[in-house]
Chains A and B, each alone.
Chain A
């Protein structure tokens, strides 16, 4: 079933905000969001990643593409998994890596985002990998960095997490091949999820057959249908004939904010158990961007079961991030 993807028009007096992702020759410069990145470019990143994933299977896992370049992981919000995979990806490209955890440091002392940025830029950085709790922060940083510096968004607020969405698309492609006949369901806290928003863009861009989101009304953002998804509130109906199930992480704060009564009720209605998994296609794969809350959104038997590809996502993440980094820096070596 074809899905109509409606992209709101951009007013005539403002430039396309995401055009900043490309330089004047049309080459990828920053990766801030999937919006504005053509299906051809997405495919190119995924193809490049194929080459790098095979590198990570070799005994010597390094390629010298970014030798002498400095990648700075600027994490204004704490993260273990994403930061580690970005660090590994940069190291396998032979770049020098600097990890700066700003969740506890300068910005808490009142230093402005721009000052922090300029100070680190003065240390001759070539690329910033940014995670920030404000939506649009990497876009703001990309507008203010020196021309030779690239910015990769490692998650901003509720807005975007493009490398996560790319690695999910990569994983789906490896398992399912063509996107056109697929039904994909994203389940859980869509409202607060940057991952879900980027996944919606990437799968729609790759012309997936049907994209669904499943959650109670409190966790579905207003007008999400306009991003090209079908909204379901019932798991049984939502999972019917689905090829890929993506579970989202549910944070405990949601209960305090009156969005949900309890973890137990959420698990009973929306938690992915073996019983509910059976409502999807028999060969459906189960994905999760991590870290998973077992017993809240997913049952251990499913997370560790034969249909789960959760750990594969993590290892694919390194190859996809290597591809994104090398393409943003104008190095195409990994392309197979």
Chain B
């Protein structure tokens, strides 16, 4: 039996608009004309117009005058030369609220998200308090509504307090609006408990998000075990810290018919194992973080603490395999793996810093750079950012540029050159290794539920 997650947030409960408008009211109709329409399901970009009303896309392509008569003149937009695409669904972004507000909060991070073309954020359960009750999920929804920028959805905890021992009330979490269930990066106490947790979740056909890591193999490690870590004298994390628990999980899935999404993998060996498992017909999907598609352990060479991430940046061969995995469809989702930190968390020798990259602002430009540098086809990248995560996480009518879908859109200037540090809303965490990079594809406007939540023109 499939539970349809009741969305407690931005869908039903109108967010506060800066000008006091509410969805369904006249001021939320928009007509975007002459844009290049980038539809993830359509390889060929087309020129056309899009009409937004009532929080939905009403019409795409040729729009007759009658339909758009209600659009006020200031909401008619000539978008010639600009690209209109569905907003990005980032399925793994830590917003640090509740619990770690000294690093960031939902307001700052959802503003950074829409500034980077991300309209839906999935929040993992490792908050404080842990997202293992509906109360925490409701709190997060409420904070996101008050912020009034991006849509924030929750991924509930798989075990109480994420301790890996006692099952959480997964069915209640799903009814309470959690789009998936995960144990974040904490391991299960033993394989039997993981097997039972998989079986219990499968009872309700819940989507699970797992990230296989073996704590004993990765203990104390902070970099890929290889040439660079050896030279720098950094404790290494071997590939087997990822592949050994992945192999165990695949073995369990051959007995328990659960729906599992592997949040991110970092190694070529893991991609091969996933390919094999998918060929066997297991319901296993997988994602990859955008920084693993760009950086390698060579980037740790300068001891830049902003390249300290878990799982670690691996070799060039691994990076090539991750890119190939996306091209083949073995990996189908790209995440930001956003982890904002306060400056002090990174002001220490490499191994003593907290791992994580602040990724919301760089996700879209880095993804388009994959296309521009001819590393991956545009449709592959766009699907991995929009339609596929929306499908996996059961987000209906999201991530598409089609009539009847949510009016979560972003308008991009493909020729504007910029660096992410110039973006008007930056994450509260400035721990990004991409700060000095030059990018094209700047977000000009972003709509969530048909409301304009970011407008670059206000800052130019």
Residues of A within 8 A of B (CB): 8-11, 13-17, 35, 112-114, 132, 134-137, 139-140, 156-160, 194, 197, 221-224, 226-227
Contacts and interface: CB of A to CB of B under 8 A. Distances in A.
Contacts of B238: 222
Nearest to A201: B231
Contacts of B231: 8, 35, 197, 226-227
A222 B301 contact: no
Interface string B406-439: 0000000000000000000000000000001100
A136 B222 CA distance: 13
B357 to A, nearest CB: 15
22 contacts: A8-B227, A8-B231, A14-B299, A17-B301, A112-B344, A114-B347, A134-B351, A135-B234, A136-B233, A136-B350, A139-B303, A139-B349, A140-B303, A140-B348, A140-B350, A159-B233, A194-B233, A197-B233, A221-B236, A222-B225, A222-B230, A222-B238
Given A156-B233, A197-B233, A135 B301 contact: no
B349 A134 contact: yes
B347 A112 contact: yes
A10 B302 contact: yes
B228 A8 contact: yes
Interface of B: 225-236, 238, 298-299, 301-304, 344, 347-352, 436-437
B337 to A, nearest CB: 20
Given A113-B348, A159-B232, 4 more contacts: A16-B302, A114-B347, A135-B233, A226-B230
A256 to B, nearest CB: 13
Contact of B233 (A11, A158, A223): A158
Contacts of A17: 301-303
In the A-B complex, list the 3 residue pairs whose CB atoms are closest, starting with the nearest.
A159-B233, A158-B233, A134-B349
A299 to B, nearest CB: 29
A157 B234 CA distance: 8
A326 B233 CA distance: 27
A226 B302 CA distance: 18
Nearest to B344: A112
A135 B299 contact: no
A135 B302 contact: no
Interface of A (DSSP majority class): loop
B224 to A, nearest CB: 9
B437 A13 contact: yes
Question: Of residues A9, A135, A158, which shows the largest number of chain B Cβ atoms within 10 Å of its Cβ?
Answer: A135
Contacts of A140: 303, 348-350
A194 B348 CA distance: 19
A11 B351 CA distance: 20
B227 A137 contact: no
Given A194-B233, A221-B230, A222-B230, A113 B302 contact: no
Question: Of residues A10, A17, A134, A197, which shows the largest number of chain B Cβ atoms within 10 Å of its Cβ?
Answer: A134
Nearest to A190: B230
Nearest to A193: B233
Contacts of B437: 13
Contacts of B227: 8, 222-223, 226-227
A142 to B, nearest CB: 11
Nearest to A35: B231
Contacts of A136: 232-234, 303, 349-351
Contacts of A226: 227, 230-231
Contacts of A159: 232-234
A229 to B, nearest CB: 11
Contact of B302 (A14, A114, A221, A224): A14
A11 B296 CA distance: 10
A156 B352 CA distance: 13
Nearest to A220: B230
Given A17-B302, A135-B350, A227 B234 contact: no
Contacts of A13: 436-437
Contacts of A15: 302
Nearest to A15: B302
A157 B233 contact: yes
Contacts of A227: 227, 230-231
Question: Of residues B226, B229, B347, B352, which shows the largest number of chain A Cβ atoms within 10 Å of its Cβ?
Answer: B352
Contacts of A139: 303, 349
A99 B21 CA distance: 67
Given A160-B233, A222-B227, A227-B230, A11 B299 contact: yes
A221 B235 CA distance: 10
A185 B344 CA distance: 42
A134 B232 CA distance: 11
